[in-house]
Structure 1
């Protein structure tokens, strides 16, 4: 019994040691973001009916954000993406976020952009159960970024709009450069990659990345 207790205590101490070591380095959990849509209320009304309200399917990690039960089709020049999830709540602008692979499939040259920076971006047609919306702009491949709470930013000397390098381990060890830092007291720490980026690095939701280098814009 004594030997078993000693082994258990040793394991617990080692786990605690590793957890404390993680806290002393700028590790960030990964969230893999599939294609999705943010809608303004006017477009939601056209697609689903006047005054329509999104139905929450599940909460996302960022406070107040959720995946809705509702989906729409994205129609481009060469193809269509069906059952694309809408994320809530509604926003001030309609924005479609896809991967590079998605953009090739539908024939829309989506640029890499920070979320919300849609000026000069291409549009697509959205099809819902009650109507269609012809977007003139708003299709992007989201710039990889990290949601950072102020306490973490202060501890590791990160500034809003910094660009950093993040190392991801595993069999396909990868260093992602030009990762945008976004700081808010409304955020939970999380790095967002799209499916192309995550597959290339062989990472999944919950894996950890290490912020290596900070570059001021």
Structure 2
């Protein structure tokens, strides 16, 4: 049995443009246009199961892509950055430079009182492992850090590699697997 999981990173938002720890910002007009154009071009795969990360940006992206009827997937929530939600990376770096440096260097660190990168990678890897029980395609619209975490884990890279994986908006990454072994095809643009 082969499972295929297609992760589509959400469309661009103002928060992403500003390098802001997202606090629920919507997709911006340019992101909606690009997502709608991708849907019209037939760039979005069909899937028997549709999952959507529980953010406004992911729900709006799924809708613009014509992926109606998706199930909110709380297990695919983005990285919880605790008290840093809503702030830009520059703002947090100015106020807490040592904490940011520690967070970026140590995957087990959570100076923001949220989730560590390691705990986050563990959480989303469990979701991928459960998808292996499903024979067929799963399509999920997710935040970029979900794709980053799963790519690191599937490739067997250390969790410290998390920050070295770039995931542009509206790109699709495919994971295909059988018997607990996954392969990755990364970063195909939708738009």
Report the TM-score when normalising by structure 2: 0.29
Name the structure where helix makes up a greater proportion of residues: 2
Kindly indicate whether structure 1 or structure 2 has the higher relative contact order, using CA contacts under 8 Å at least 6 residues apart: 2
Report the TM-score when normalising by structure 1: 0.27
Name the structure where strand makes up a greater proportion of residues: 1
